[in-house]
Structures are given as structure tokens and as C-alpha cells.
């Protein structure tokens, strides 16, 4: 539930239309989503091995610290707090606000509603990992049910069919590759989040067994959900109709079940976004906790509540930052500057597996999951991550520059903290 909840947010309900604006045939649209799923699956295999090698709270932060240098790990945590995790949460909170206003007719702006959702879930997760995980499980079941209703209603009552031809919307060329690269940006964002489950490894009973299984099974489940939703959208709306609708899932339900169907799905999407936010608030603060424990962040962030065992200060810090970002930008802007930085960290973390394999070559392998197809699948994952970063920067240079600038500011901040640690 934590793995799937970290992936399934609002992206699958909105991003299909963004993809259809870049590529215009069923083969290309479904193909891009399948490529994104294969990329997430490759990442899940890699992270499963990393999690069994280093089963401690902090996930990627720990992997980067042990493979490279504390500076690399710190910069990852820095951009997680200021860009990737909080930015993704802010984007989803803004989406929640839009659907909440549509459901209730509330006249408030998106910012205050998004802030209320973020701060409310922050308060719940301060009660401890058990409270946060229970909310997460309930939200995941509800949004899986909403997606199932969407798929079944679309197939049974939506009419239409998927026309397989033409296969391509333009000749094989650099322009086609550029369009596929641009389409991969929203797909990559929609599939992102499986890695956050590793943040709470230290609080699992048996992370070596459970986390590796959860990563793989969870990602397979999300691929099935995402392909089903896109198939139904193409069947009911067609490629052109999908590209024209900024709320394609609601459009499908409106065709299948009328306005009441659209209202039902709006509630489902609102629940889905809350579930994603709950998962992020549950998992990511464990990275800031690990940074503080290493002496590279405020000492108070590394303290655990004596009553609940939760890193309360770290959880509150993330909630405040996500709220600030939610007030400052739109969904599309946040998505673009998050994606470029996020996939830099993916590439670096996957490359860490080469370091660990070489370093631990002579050691026993008991209890360690082995990534299928390594080193070839790992190298391919790193190459695709680099291509997504390049595509995002080329397509959205100004938004990407924001994220990259924040990343670079982490260097002097690390130097300051490391001097403070040794001083």
C-alpha cells in the first residue's frame, strides 16, 4: 500500500491528456505509458536490491551517502525538501483543491484549501507511523476502487473502440523522438514515488523481505492500473478527444454515467490525491531525520517523539515547505521543475548499485535481493533517466533552471553544515 500510494496520486487522472497532446495514436500513447511502467519496474528491481543491502531509514539518502560521499547524500536531501518531494506534494495538493472546490462549490482559492489538506495530514502523521500507515492503506483501497469503477464503467457503458491504425502520427524522425521524449515527462511524474517506500525501511519488521516484495508487487499493480485507465480513455474519447480534455477521467465517467458519474470520480480523485499526500508526509521526513542524525541538519529535526516514535519536527518542516510551494506555483510549473531534478537523483542512486556490487564482490549474499539483468538493465535505467532530464530541460528550460539552481545551492549549504559539524 505504501509503494502504490506513493505512485498513484492525481497524475493518472490528468496526465493522459498531456501525453495525448504530444503523441496522437493509440500505439504511441499506450506505448509511452508502457515504457514508463517498464522504467518504474527497472527502478523497483534496483531499489529492492539497495534496500536489502542497506535496510535503514532514509532510503536514497543512505544509499548515496554510502556509495559516494555525504555531500551527495546531503544535496539529495536538500532538493528532496525544497524541490522534489515537497514540490510533488504541492502539485498534488493544488489538484486536490481544484476538485474539492468543484465538489463542494466552495469559493476559497486553491492555495488555502491545499494548505489545509497538507497541514491536516501533517498533524495525523505526527501521531506516529501506525496512524499514518492506517490512513494510507484506507486511502489506497478507496482510490483503487475509484479507478476500478472508472475502467469498468468506461468499457461497459462508455461505448467506442480503440482503432489501432495508424500506428504512428508522423514519419520516424528526430521530431518523433522529441515528441516521445516530451510525452515521457508527465508519464515519468505519474510513475514516480515508488522509491519513497525505502525511506521507512528502518521502521519495518523485516525490510529485507517485505520491502523488496512490496516494491515489485506494488509497481506491477500500478502499471496495470495506469494502462487500464489509458485504454479506457482512448476507447471512449479517442486520441483527439483525449488530447482536448483537461479532465479525461471525468469526461469518460460523464459519457458512461452522466453528471453523477463525473461527480463520483471527482470524489475519487480527491481521495486519491489525499492518499498520495499522506504517503509523502509519512515517508520523506525520515530522510531529514537521517540528515540530522548525521549532523548535517538542525539537531531538533533528528529527534523522535517519546510518545509516538515519529520524527515530528521533520514531518512539520516538510508540511510547511509543501504549503509554501503550493501557494507559489501552478501544477504544470511545479511538475516541470520537479521532474528534471528528481531524475538526476534516480540516475545517481541506480549507479550506486555498481559501486556496491564492486565493493562487496567477495562478501556473502545471504538475504540480498539480486537485480535481474544487472548490469545491463541498471545501465539502461540510468540512460533513460538521463534522457528524461535532457528532454525536460530542452522542453522547459526556465522551469528546469529553478530546480537545478536550488540543487546547486545545496553545495555551499553542505559546506557550512559540515564545518559546523567538525567545528
Residue 296 belongs to domain with CATH number: 1.20.1740.10
CB-CB neighbours of 394 under 10 Å: 12
- Residue 305 has what DSSP assignment? P
CA distance 318 to 132: 15
pTM: 0.78
Residue-wise pLDDT for 110-122, tens only, equals 778 888 888 888 8
C-alpha dist (Å) from residue 316 to 66, 126, 202, 310, 321: 27, 8, 20, 11, 9
Q: Are 190 and 12 in contact (CB under 8 A)?
A: yes
Closest to 88 (Cα-Cα) out of 243, 192, 242, 226? 192
CA distance 401 to 61: 23
Closest to 349 (Cα-Cα) out of 83, 85, 73? 73
CA distance 64 to 219: 23
Closest to 347 (Cα-Cα) out of 60, 147, 12? 60
Q: What angle do CA 254, 259, 263 make, to 5 degrees?
A: 95
Mean pLDDT over each residue of the chain, to the nearest integer = 80
Rounded mean pLDDT, 56-62: 80
Residue-wise pLDDT for 262-280, tens only, equals 788 788 778 878 877 877 7
CA distance 393 to 60: 23
CA distance 337 to 321: 16
pLDDT score for 242 = 79
3-state secondary structure of 184: helix
Q: How confident is the model at residue 68 (pLDDT cuts 50, 70, 90)?
A: very high
Per-residue DSSP letters for 255-304? HHHHHHHHHHHHHHHHHHHHHHHHHHHHHTHHHHHHHHHTTSS-GGGGPP
Q: How confident is the model at residue 382 (pLDDT cuts 50, 70, 90)?
A: very high
pLDDT score for 66 = 92
Q: How confident is the model at residue 203 (pLDDT cuts 50, 70, 90)?
A: low
Backbone angles phi, psi at 294, to 5 degrees: -85, 0
Q: Are 4 and 221 in contact (CB under 8 A)?
A: yes
pLDDT score for 378 = 94
Q: How many folded domains does the chain comprise?
A: 1
Place of cell 501521531: 127
Rounded mean pLDDT, 60-64: 89
Residue-wise pLDDT for 98-113, tens only, equals 778 877 877 777 778 8
CA distance 312 to 304: 7
| Domain boundaries, position 364 | 2-422
Q: Are 322 and 90 in contact (CB under 8 A)?
A: yes
Amino acid at each position: 500500500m505504501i509503494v502504490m500510494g506513493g505512485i498513484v496520486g492525481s497524475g493518472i487522472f490528468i496526465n493522459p491528456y498531456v501525453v495525448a497532446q504530444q503523441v496522437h495514436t493509440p500505439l504511441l500513447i499506450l506505448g509511452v505509458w508502457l515504457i514508463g511502467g517498464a522504467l518504474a519496474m527497472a527502478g523497483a528491481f534496483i531499489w529492492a536490491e539497495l534496500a536489502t543491502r542497506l535496510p535503514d531509514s532514509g532510503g536514497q539518502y543512505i544509499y548515496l551517502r554510502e556509495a559516494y560521499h555525504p555531500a551527495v547524500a546531503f544535496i539529495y536531501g536538500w532538493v528532496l525538501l525544497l524541490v522534489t518531494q515537497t514540490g510533488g506534494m504541492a502539485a498534488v495538493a493544488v489538484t486536490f483543491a481544484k476538485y474539492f472546490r468543484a465538489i463542494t462549490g466552495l469559493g476559497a482559492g486553491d492555495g488555502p484549501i491545499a494548505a489545509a489538506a497538507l497541514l491536516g495530514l501533517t498533524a495525523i502523521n505526527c501521531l506516529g507511523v501506525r496512524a499514518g500507515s492506517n490512513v494510507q492503506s484506507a486511502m489506497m483501497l478507496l482510490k483503487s476502487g475509484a479507478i476500478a469503477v472508472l475502467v469498468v464503467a468506461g468499457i461497459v457503458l462508455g461505448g467506442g473502440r480503440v482503432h489501432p491504425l495508424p500506428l504512428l502520427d508522423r514519419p520516424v524522425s528526430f521530431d518523433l523522438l522529441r515528441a516521445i521524449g516530451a510525452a515521457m515527462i508527465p508519464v515519468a511524474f505519474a510513475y514516480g514515488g515508488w522509491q519513497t517506500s525505502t525511506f521507512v525501511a528502518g521502521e519495518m519488521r523485516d525490510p529485507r523481505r517485505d520491502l523488496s516484495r512490496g516494491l515489485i508487487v506494488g509497481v506491477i499493480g500500478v502499471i496495470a492500473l495506469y494502462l487500464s485507465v489509458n485504454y479506457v480513455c482512448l476507447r471512449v474519447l479517442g486520441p483527439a478527444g483525449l488530447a482536448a480534455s483537461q479532465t479525461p477521467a471525468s469526461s469518460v465517467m460523464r459519457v458512461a454515467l452522466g453528471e453523477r458519474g463525473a461527480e463520483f470520480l471527482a470524489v475519487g480523485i480527491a481521495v486519491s490525491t489525499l492518499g498520495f499526500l499522506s504517503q509523502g508526509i509519512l515517508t520523506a521526513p525520515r530522510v531529514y531525520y537521517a540528515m540530522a542524525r548525521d549532523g548535517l541538519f538542525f539537531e531538533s529535526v533528528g529527534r523522535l517523539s517519546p510518545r509516538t516514535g515519529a520524527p515530528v519536527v521533520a514531518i512539520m518542516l516538510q508540511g510547511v515547505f509543501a504549503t509554501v510551494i503550493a501557494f507559489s506555483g501552478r501544477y504544470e510549473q511545479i511538475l516541470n521543475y520537479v521532474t528534471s531534478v528528481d531524475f538526476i537523483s534516480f540516475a545517481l542512486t541506480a549507479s550506486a548499485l555498481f559501486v556496491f556490487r564492486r565493493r562487496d564482490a567477495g562478501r556473502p549474499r545471504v538475504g540480498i535481493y539480486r537485480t535481474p539483468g544487472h548490469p545491463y538493465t541498471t545501465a539502461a535505467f540510468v540512460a533513460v533517466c538521463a534522457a528524461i532530464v535532457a528532454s525536460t530541460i530542452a522542453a522547459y528550460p526556465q522551469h528546469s533552471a529553478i530546480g537545478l539552481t536550488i540543487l546547486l545551492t545545496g553545495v555551499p549549504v553542505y559546506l557550512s553544515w559540515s564545518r559546523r559539524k567538525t567545528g
